[in-house]
Amino acid sequence: MKNIFINCAVTGAILLTMPAIAQVKKESKFNLITLDPGHFHAALVQKTDLNDVGSNVYVYAPQGPDLQAHLSKIDGYNHRPADPSHWNEVVYAGNDFFNRMIADKKGNVVVMAGNNQKKTEYVKRSIDAGFNVLGDKPMAIDNQHFEMLKSAFANAAKKKLVLYDIMTERYEITNNLQREFAMIPEVFGRLKKGTPQNPAVEMESVHYFYKYVSGSVLSRPAWFFDVKQQGEGLQDVGVHLVDLTQWECFPDRIIDYKKDIKFNSAKRWPSEVTLSQFKAITKLNGFPEFLKKNVVKDTILKVYANGSVNYKLFGINVKLTAKWAYAAPPGSGDSQYAVLHGTRADLYVRQGAAEKFTPVLYIEPVNASVDFEQTLMDKLKLIQAKYPGVELKKQDKGWAVIIPEKYKDGHEAHFGRVTEKYLDYLRNGNMPKWEVPNMIAKYYTTTTALALAKGTK
């Protein structure tokens, strides 16, 4: 990677240009700004070239390992043997990075994926300054940030800007098909109401601190283990579960968070990370000072990375759980379990050893019969019209949905698909009316659940 550094005597900042491997294409309708990229999701937005997006990407960040890790990932995408990208990173590195971004106005879309402690403030101030914003989840990690986020959405509407979060799980094929089958009343029936003890909707995600990204072991910053900077589990990855519940169970329906959401209970608990595990993930020799208040016996870090919420949405009982552990069992990775209980059938997504740790969708009828099977096979044609090649395989309790490999493009590819959808909203002004109120409802759910679990609500 060839970098050009120019010292700025006044601020002590550094200007850097990381040229693409090929000729830079003409500036396009959209020009990206990457703000303080402390999470690898910022790089995944640029894993491939994007339509109507200029090759120059303007990066504003403090100097340090987070920035270097981001630039290294982009450089890797530019130099991969197959289908390389063509990004030209133009970097301003200094402590005044945010004010410099506002003053420079180099682009019209700000991408944010990093430390969540100031993210909501950056979202609001970027909107106030006239930038569109594509933000990684979570865009708010507590009640105070939720109120700030609401203000950002209100101002975005006034300024006709698009503020949107990166919901990659909507592009995972088993989630798509679970939603599609749930929308066929002859197969699924209607969603049961359930009870707090036996919810109609249950979802659980398990993530791991030690993992591979783009073929390499991911090195995480130390602040990732501070919930005041990263957010707790349900308020971080749990955002996806709340989003899937809204998107799959109530498609196109606008949620009024003040009246459509009622809470039953919520809880939180820590994951334990040993000093040796922390060193393996962060490449640091010890716990930094800001984490020591959470260290016990000098060698065990307690991270409140787990959370669960039990609530009603439109009167339907829902239970969502987010968990974190150190490393996945051999052959596996981040996983998700989900079930929607219908009056005619239950729709399960399982990802265990029986599924070889890849998500599989199952349709399990409440009352198996010849008539149900005939109806299911007939309605399968509706699915096949959208997803050619999808088939069903008979199981003891129902059917497994057989999905062609062409639809399994992987989590990393979904960032590009979300970004293309966002750019389409910018081009055509066609964001669905339910998106913004449902984003607000989503963050109300996660942040209120935290307050409830802490006993502050």
Q: Give the pLDDT confidence of 72-91 residue by residue, as tens digits.
A: 999 999 999 999 999 999 99
Instruction: Report the pLDDT averaged over residues 36-62.
Output: 95
DSSP secondary structure of 112-162: E-S-STTHHHHHHHHHHTT-EEEEPSPS--SHHHHHHHHHHHHHHHHHT--
Instruction: Report the pLDDT averaged over residues 211-232.
Output: 90
- Decide: 203 and 245 in contact? Cβ < 8 Å: yes
Q: What is the pTM of this model?
A: 0.93
Distances in Å between the Cα of 321 and the Cα atoms of 76, 179, 239, 253 are 35, 19, 10, 23
- Decide: 408 and 360 in contact? Cβ < 8 Å: no
The more confident residue out of 355 and 329 is 355
Whether the pLDDT of residue 420 is over 90: the answer is yes
- Measured CA to CA, the distance from residue 294 to residue 301 in angstroms comes to 6
Answer whether the bond into residue 138 is a cis peptide, omega within 30°.
Answer: yes
Contact partners, residue 334, CB within 8 Å, separation at least 6: 205, 206, 207, 208, 211, 328, 411
- Measured CA to CA, the distance from residue 3 to residue 10 in angstroms comes to 21
Backbone phi, psi, residue 111, to 5°: -100, 125
Whether the pLDDT of residue 1 is over 70: the answer is no
Mean pLDDT score of the chain, rounded to an integer?
A: 93
Residue 13: per-residue pLDDT? 64
The domains of the chain, with CATH numbers, are 4-166 (3.40.50.720), 170-423+436-454 (3.30.360.10)
Would you mind telling me the total number of residues written for the chain in this entry? 457
Instruction: Report the pLDDT averaged over residues 187-193.
Output: 98
Whether the pLDDT of residue 26 is over 90: the answer is no
Q: What is the pLDDT of residues 267-306, one digit of tens each?
A: 999 999 999 999 999 999 999 999 999 999 999 999 999 9
Q: What is the pLDDT of residues 102-150, one digit of tens each?
A: 999 999 999 999 999 999 999 999 999 999 999 999 999 999 999 999 9
Whether the pLDDT of residue 24 is over 60: the answer is no
Whether the pLDDT of residue 33 is over 80: the answer is yes
